[in-house]
Structure 1
Amino acid sequence: MTRKKIAEFYTRLRDLNPEPKGELHYVNPYTLLVAVALSAQATDKGVNRATGPLFEKVQTPQQMLDLGEEGLIEHIRTIGLYRNKAKNVIALSRKLVDEREGVVPPDRDYLETLPGVGRKTANVVLNIAFGIPTIAVDTHIFRVGNRTGLAKGKTPDAVEKVLEKVTPEEFKLHAHHWLILHGRYICKARKPDCWRCPVEDLCAFKPKTPPPGTQPAPKQRKAG
């Protein structure tokens, strides 16, 4: 995708949603960190259902330690891999209490040392909690980047590097949200809704998906 098309791509997404927001519910940087860690291989809606009651009681690492692993498990049983996630949340809470006085720092390198926290989770926290223009590549962004031609790469890290390079500065803060929402609701995994896509004409994906209830035109046979 050319620079001109990339700028137009983001401009259209911005025009439709000037101030995009993440869909995970949180109270502060710590609860956001916990929510994102819990969201791996789970839906945001499922995580929100579990963390709603949890975050009424727990809003700091120390409160999480006071709740304990079994207490946390009771809140997150409906989330996939809940036992392993509970262990990680308790461990990262202990580390924050012991090393940072319970404060989540705007430091990617440090965040990636926390149990259960990878680059994607760290980038989400930096972007949403601290307003740092990072791009966290999840399955949606990985798909959108490759499918549209915006940022091709064989790994999430590779796609992130391309996006960091090609995304104009004015769009970097919200690029993460625009691309995730586009992938979640329009450029869906099994069958993208090309017929209602605002950037369909800029996208390299073929064949385009027609509107529901319509069939693509039959191929013409050659005479002779």
Structure 2
Amino acid sequence: MTNASARRPMTKPEARRFITALAEANPNAESELVFTDTFTLLVAVVLSAQATDKSVNKVTGGLFHDAPDPAAMIRLGEDGIAAHIRTIGLWRAKARNVFLLSRKLVTDHQGEVPSDRASLEALPGVGRKTANVVLNVAFGESAMAVDTHIFRIGNRTGLAPGKTTRQVEDGLISRIPPDMLRPAHHWLILHGRYICKARSPECWRCAGFDPCQFKDKKIRREAHGGTAVPMPERPVDTTD
């Protein structure tokens, strides 16, 4: 059922056109999580699981003020971390993971966030998606983190159909030109967050309308006058 919304998978030329269109519509795309270094990025991404970036940013200001590095996070303790993050989902488990990963960074990595996938994924609370974000944003690797937004886009548009996040990730890596792969992570996430939304995709605002293989795209555009409306440079945060 994951490919039900797309007529067919995109070809590689279509994928390049689609990604190029997103890039031109939002050239300054970047992570909306607030962080100051690799450690705070890692913690913010761990906290963002099943939570919005907006909700995470509301709690990390105080958390990072009190614990800006792994040693300080250990001193703050699991209960102290929990007190900062009670408003986000799964806060108890996340507080424990942040405490444990901080301790592992100190004991195993001299307080530094490792730059290899195996070491990242060995940290408590860090899976493949989180590791990919850190590798992409902090270390400049062409890693593709597949969250719910990118998983939806991959299947709905035909960009990279797949039943699992790994299948979608592999499809994106194989279709997106290598020189565009790293920034494509941000273009796709923001496109899914503000345009290609879960319940009500705004096809009339989609820069990648032409190569997109979504079955209902024409119906949705025609319902709004049949013309494209450009995406603003910094969209207003909404909950979808």
| Superposition TM-score, scaled by structure 1 size | 0.92
* Residue pair 1:28, 1:59 contacting (<8 A) in 2 also: no
Which residue of the partner structure matches residue 131 of structure 1? 140
Q: Kindly, what percent of the aligned residue pairs are identical?
A: 58
SS in structure 2 at match of 1:202: coil
1:17 and 1:207 mapped to 2: Cα distance?
Answer: 24
1:97 and 1:161 mapped to 2: Cα distance?
Answer: 33
Counterpart check, 1:178 vs 2:202: no
Counterpart check, 1:33 vs 2:34: no
Matches within 5 A, 1:16-55: 16-55=25-64
**1:153 paired residue among 144, 150, 162:** 162
| Superposition TM-score, scaled by structure 2 size | 0.86
Amino acid at match of 1:210: R
Q: Which has the higher contact order (CA 8 A, sep 6+)?
A: 2
Which residue of the partner structure matches residue 222 of structure 1? none
Amino acid at match of 1:149: G
1:212 and 1:90 mapped to 2: Cα distance?
Answer: 51
Corresponding residue pairs, total: 216
Which residue of the partner structure matches residue 117 of structure 2? 108
SS in structure 2 at match of 1:40: coil
Counterpart check, 1:191 vs 2:200: yes
- How large is the Cα RMSD of the aligned pairs? 1.6
State the structure with more CA Rg.
1
In structure 2, the gaps of 5 or more residues are: 1-9, 227-240
1:102 and 1:212 mapped to 2: Cα distance?
Answer: 55
* Residue pair 2:196, 2:202 contacting (<8 A) in 1 also: yes
Amino acid at match of 1:128: V
1:71 and 1:95 mapped to 2: Cα distance?
Answer: 18
CA displacement at 1:210 relative to structure 2: 2.7
1:201 and 1:213 mapped to 2: Cα distance?
Answer: 17
2:169 and 2:59 mapped to 1: Cα distance?
Answer: 30
Which residue of the partner structure matches residue 79 of structure 1? 88
1:66 and 1:44 mapped to 2: Cα distance?
Answer: 26
1:54 and 1:92 mapped to 2: Cα distance?
Answer: 15
In structure 1, the gaps of 5 or more residues are: 217-224
1:173 and 1:104 mapped to 2: Cα distance?
Answer: 20
CA displacement at 1:18 relative to structure 2: 2.2
SS in structure 1 at match of 2:180: helix
* Residue pair 2:143, 2:182 contacting (<8 A) in 1 also: yes
